[in-house]
């Protein structure tokens, strides 16, 4: 399984064996974690949310406003939670990965 994301000046790639996980998503955004926001969500949590939406495979059908970002998980109504981790990346970027083991 493969996931790809890009922002101006950066690319993020995640790979994992497809038989071990239900989905995989990665997101990278340019900006500072706490001071910048998208749709009222701090950028660090937004990258976690975007990664989970990509991992879920229904990104265009999910409403980000219904998601719950809590601890190390992102949840959408009626679905099991996704594990989500903020990744250490250099410069003015924020990145996160989301996955769910089978």
Residue pLDDT, tens place only, 18-77: 899 999 999 999 987 667 777 778 899 999 999 999 999 887 788 888 999 999 999 999
Three-class secondary structure of residue 64 per DSSP: helix
CA pair distance 95, 93, nearest whole angstrom: 7
pLDDT of residue 67: 92
pLDDT of residue 74: 96
Sequence-distant (6+) residues with CB within 8 A of 60 are none
Average pLDDT over residues 9-19: 95
Question: Exposed (0-12), middle (13-18) or buried (19+): which is 88, by Cβ within 10 Å?
Answer: exposed
pLDDT of residue 62: 85
Read off the pTM: 0.90
CA pair distance 43, 13, nearest whole angstrom: 19
CA pair distance 38, 26, nearest whole angstrom: 17
């Amino acid at each position: 399984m493969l996931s790809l994301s890009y922002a101006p000046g950066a690319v993020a790639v995640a790979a994992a064996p497809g038989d071990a996980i239900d989905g995989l998503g990665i997101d990278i955004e340019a900006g500072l974690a706490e001071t910048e926001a998208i749709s009222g969500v701090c950028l660090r949590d937004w990258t976690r949310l975007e990664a989970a939406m990509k991992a879920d495979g229904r990104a265009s059908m999910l409403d980000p406003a219904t998601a719950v970002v809590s601890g190390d998980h992102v949840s959408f109504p009626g679905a099991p939670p996704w594990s989500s981790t903020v990744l250490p990346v250099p410069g003015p970027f924020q990145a996160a990965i989301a996955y769910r083991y089978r």
